[in-house]
Amino acid sequence: MDQENDLVVGVGNGLVVYTIRVPQILTPGAKGEVFSMAACAGGVTANSLVQLAALEVNTRWLGLVGTDSNADLLVGALEQAGVNVSDVHQIDGETGFGFVIADASGERVGYCNQGTTARLSPGDVGTRFKETIQAARVLLVEVCQFPLASTLAAIEIASDASTLVVLDFDSSPNEAGIPPEERNDIEEVLGQCDVVSGSYGALRDYTGLTSPKDICKYLLDYGAQLAATTMGHGGCYLATHARGCHLPAFEIDAVDTTGAGDAFRAGLVYGFINEMELEETGMFATACGALCCTSPMNQSQATKETVLEFIANQSTAGKEGVQHAGK
């Protein structure tokens, strides 16, 4: 894989995430012990870029940071993970940040302030990032926790340059507080994406469909070449226009499920740009997501060798577990 020709850039959330480990998540008004707290780069798009960088894909985040100490922390963490930060711009304001509180079982709650990330305008995308998007092979975008107008601006640049567009549908419009009148904007985004992945819950709420197969068909009907939905313990379903398949989840001891869907998307992109078979792509993406759940830092930095070794050691999730489904 030629690094320069396989540049993956991301227009989406990049935040400093503070992870707090606790014995259990408490009810309102209760008090408890904190085991530890650590900070790392986070956010849907940043997480996917970090995993892709670990897979030796040339990646770059296109975003805005503020003038606070979190700006240096975020940029430094991304740079250390191997993500190119030469297109990160500083503006007055507060860098996006979030808190994830995770208990011993891997369950968690999260809170987020997008800060300067949410202030990225369509004009910013056009003036600051146009040439980088045009030169990229793949553009990562997201809904519904990022300004839709800016996502559309990035997609339009990518479409004109024949840059592949990969969308993460991380949360439902209702959860994100997106008004009904902006649904057409989401449909416009879907209509210009080559690959779409998202959580089952978010896609079920958006489409009104309950079958993973029907959800993927819905996404493919908008024009995507590859669609996937993740179902946690239920594994994932992915499909092309030719066929689809369900892959079971791997058996793991989860530390924290935060960022698993972002790592899954990274694996999906890796398989897609390397022209892997559908099942191989799904297996690789599922392994990236599973390995993220075993990481105490809420993101996966697994290498290709680690992913392949993990798959080889999972006898219960080998190819004999693949369930084929006609389209």
Contact 295, 50 (CB under 8 A): no
Q: What pLDDT sits at residue 326?
A: 35
CATH superfamily to which 9-311 belongs: Ribokinase (3.40.1190.20)
* Predicted TM-score (pTM) of this structure: 0.91
Q: At what angle do helices 148-160 and 183-190 cross, to 10 degrees?
A: 30
Residue 20 backbone phi and psi in degrees, to 5: -115, 120
The full set of domain ranges for the chain reads 9-311
Residues with pLDDT less than 70, the chain: 1-6, 176-177, 296-299, 315-327
Task: Tell me the C-alpha distance between 288 and 308, whole Å.
Answer: 10
Residue 216 backbone phi and psi in degrees, to 5: -65, -40
Task: Tell me the C-alpha distance between 23 and 33, whole Å.
Answer: 7
Residue 12 backbone phi and psi in degrees, to 5: 175, -165
Task: Tell me the C-alpha distance between 32 and 44, whole Å.
Answer: 29
Residue 133's CB: how many other CB atoms inside 10 A?
25
| pLDDT tens column, 8-32 | 999 999 999 998 989 999 989 999 9
Q: What pLDDT sits at residue 318?
A: 47
Among candidates 72, 70, 46, which has minimal Cα distance to 59? Answer: 46
Contact 276, 55 (CB under 8 A): no
Q: What pLDDT sits at residue 295?
A: 76
Coil vs helix vs strand at 100: strand
At a CB cut-off of 8 Å and minimum separation 6, what does 90 contact? 64, 65, 66, 67, 71
At a CB cut-off of 8 Å and minimum separation 6, what does 327 contact? 217, 239, 240, 241, 242, 243, 244
